[in-house]
Structure 1
Amino acid sequence: MSADADFADARHTPPIPPQPPHRPAPTPAPDEDPQTTVLRRVPADPTVPAPAAPSGPATPPARQPLPPAAPPAPTVPPAPAVPPRPATPPGAPPRPRTEPPAAPPPPTGRPASFRDTAAFHLAHSEALWSEPGDRAPGTPPPPDHGSPQQPTWPSTPAAATAAGAVPAAAPRRPFPGLAGRRPAPRTLAAAACLVLGVGLLGGAAAGSWLTDDTGNGIPNPDTAFAKGQDAWHTAPVDSLFPRVVDGLGVGPGGADRQWTRIAVAPDTDCSAAYEGPLAKELAPAGCARLLRATYVDATRTSVITVGAQTTRADRPGMMDLNARFSTHNLATRTDLMPLPLAAKGTPAADFGPAQRASWTIRVLTDIPVVVYAVSGFADGREITEPQPAEAAAQPGTATTPGESGLGHDAKDLADKVETTFRTASGIPAQPTEEAP
């Protein structure tokens, strides 16, 4: 049985046939027994003289029978010469070779017939079809078990003539086109343009930061103040007084509110005819322009007039005006309530001074604007005890402005207009600056 059967799976082994009857093995001849050593007489060297015969009668030795001559060994025709295989393509310099590692000893414990199997010859025939340099990195060369059928491929014809020449593994060559490659001029030009573009953008950003913007994204205070002074005629009316204002959770008890614009007054000068006694208190800051608009809530129950007066004061002048309103509580005085804008043919047609229920006044200091709002009922009912919006919007207020939501209407619409003017000036909304 061959070695393949020794390693076959037991499940696929065919049944063993019955053994034939025992026959005595023929006795091999002495010359045919591979385990018998046949000794032959060594012929005498003709160049060496024979030893002298001893004196006296000599007894001739008994002649020993000569063993039969051994049959001549069969001659094996020499293997055809294999032409040398070049290791490198024509025209390329030969690759350096290094000595392969020593072959490991042949495995032990295998049957003697293992070398006669096809698997053995297939596993040890790599040298016939591949060069040592073509093996994967880290793969050792095939072991040499002394088989005479494994020829050695010389790398060059000159190396083939050297006795005992052993091919060496070729070193790994770099990927073609990468070694010593210089960047193309187009690549250098693109890199230079990229660096130049980044420098220009950085310079522009630095210039913008130095002139207009600060590090936290808020514009320069002087720039924002100047923009706020011109917002009344540079910003569209719909951006300063939106047509519809949504207030999510700003009503009494966190209810949602919505107001619709029903009237817009033309821009005008500041005078007592439009602002009442409040115009006198705002006169120290100077009046540049006055804008007003009136809104109605979604239930058409309340009406609110919102005004924004742009002053001529500088930043210190607005700071002084805000301090005077806070010190003397001018924003909470009933006689300084703003006048409403009653537009004919609208729900605010009967909105007069007697219908005012709640109000708020804000003197801003980052832009030269004073924002105010005043609210009342749309049915024209008179209010005998008006209340400031900040007090009427407090939870649990039992007054008419507080329970009806008129304080929320005045406060929330003033907050919205204050935000729109700050947005037109290029700055985000700031906390409301108002007198207590």
Structure 2
Amino acid sequence: MAQAPAGSAAYGFGGSGALPPEAPVETTTRLRPVREKRAGRTVAVAACAVLGMGLIGGALAGVWLAAAEPGAPVEPVGYAEAKEIWHNAPVDTLFPRTVAGPGAGPGAAARTWTRVAVAPDAACSPAVMAKGLLAAVRPLGCERVLRATYTDATASSVITVGLVFTRADVTAQGALGRDLTTRLGQDVPPALAGPGTVAARFGAGQRASWWLTAPADLPVVVTAVSGFADGRSVDRPLPADQATSAGRTDAVAQSGLGHEAKGMAKRFEALLRTTAVAAAKEKTR
């Protein structure tokens, strides 16, 4: 991953905090050196035809074959590439300096988040991911965990986004994602504090709402946990679907922290998908 924005820490370091707000930013550093390229697997690309119209669709038909043997599972475009993104992609690609969220807040209000802290890549462990998620992912092969913390435009809330990369095949990844949030119950993802930033006091007791998603077309689980930037504690963190339910009048619901957790998880899922598909298409050129 390449670099850290103003107010955030760069990858490849051993520290835990964030850079001073106006620190210069590198844009080419990756999380760790890119591995030597291995000989790529032969893949078959299906062509998309529009019957009756005589029009030929795009260069990719939406799936790559994961293996040549009959009956092998089908990999979506970019699935294989996504397994390498955590160390191949620049940090600003995986964790953009700013993330726009049109309609992401309560009442479809717009949101904009700014990155304030980035952690070094880490091995899968309870220190960087929820214990229940670790137990669910470990049998599939848990590759690495990446995390960054953002704040909203008013600097009144903070949110930690986690990217848990797996070695799961398509079938296992699809099974993982089904009802994952429900199965994990109150197993909330850890918060990542940013010393010297608005997220300096974001710890376990400040977590207010959370969400996670395990898309079937990417070997990754995306988590997001939000809280108040002023350091106030929350008695019981709520999954985003509960925190955003109609009729709630508590501080977490009124602040939109549930909307923020779910909105960020969805946006980072989409961001990873776009990056992986672009990498796959680049290979076909």
TM-score in same-fold range (> 0.5): yes
Cα-to-partner distance string for 1:75-123 (whole Å, 9 max, x where unaligned): xxxxxxxxxxxxxxxxxxxxxxxxxxxxxxxxxxxxxxxxxxxxxxxxx
| Cα displacement (A) at 1:214 | 4.3
- Segments of 5+ residues of structure 2 without an aligned counterpart are 1-42, 49-56, 65-74, 279-285
**RMSD, matched Cα:** 1.9
Using the TM superposition, give the Cα deviation of residue 273 of structure 1 relative to its aligned residue in structure 2, in angstroms.
1.4
How does 1:370-381 map onto structure 2 within 5 Å?
A: 370-381=221-232
CA 1:389–1:212 in 2, change beyond 3 Å: closer, same or farther? same
Query: What does the per-residue CA deviation read over 1:109-155, in whole Å, with 9 as the maximum and x for residues that have no partner?
Result: xxxxxxxxxxxxxxxxxxxxxxxxxxxxxxxxxxxxxxxxxxxxxxx
Aligned to 1:330: 183
| Structure-to-structure mapping, 1:26-425, within 5 angstroms | 211-212=44-45, 214-215=47-48, 217=58, 218-221=61-64, 222=75, 223-277=77-131, 278-323=133-178, 325=180, 329-331=182-184, 333-334=185-186, 336-425=187-276
User: How far did residue 241 of structure 1 move?
Assistant: 1.2
Structure-2 separation of matches of 1:318 and 1:214: 25
**Greater relative CO, 1 or 2 (CA 8 Å, sep 6+):** 2
Shift of the 284–349 alpha-carbon distance from structure 1 to 2, 3 Å rule, reads same
> What TM-score does the superposition give when structure 1 sets the normalisation length?
0.47
Do the aligned partners of 1:214 and 1:220 also contact (CA within 8 Å) in 2? no
Amino acid at match of 1:330: R
Shift of 1:383: 0.5
Higher relative strand content: 2
Question: How many residue pairs align between the two structures?
Answer: 214
Q: Which amino acid aligns with 1:315?
A: V
In 1: Cα distance, 2:46 partner to 2:250 partner? 46
| Misfit runs of 4+, over 4 Å | none
Tell me, what secondary structure is at the counterpart of 1:397?
coil
Question: Does the CA contact (< 8 Å) of 1:285 and 1:321 recur in 2?
Answer: no
TM-score computed with the length of structure 2 as normaliser: 0.70
Mapped contact 1:272–1:280 kept (Cα < 8 A): no
On the 8 A contact 1:359/1:373 being kept in 2, the answer is: yes
Structure of higher CA gyration radius? 1
SS in 2 for 1:340: coil
Q: How far apart, CA to CA, are the structure 1 residues paired with 2:178 and 2:223? A: 17
Query: 3-state SS of the aligned residue for 2:158?
Result: strand
Q: Aligned runs of 1:12-23 on 2, under 5 Å?
A: none
In terms of fraction of residues, the more helix-rich structure is 1
Maintained 8 Å contact 1:219/1:426: no
Q: SS state of the match for residue 275, structure 1?
A: coil
Query: Sequence identity of aligned pairs in percent?
Result: 46
SS class of match (2:218): coil
User: What SS class does the counterpart of residue 271 from structure 2 fall into?
Assistant: helix
Q: Which moved more, 1:315-324 or 1:280-289?
A: 315-324
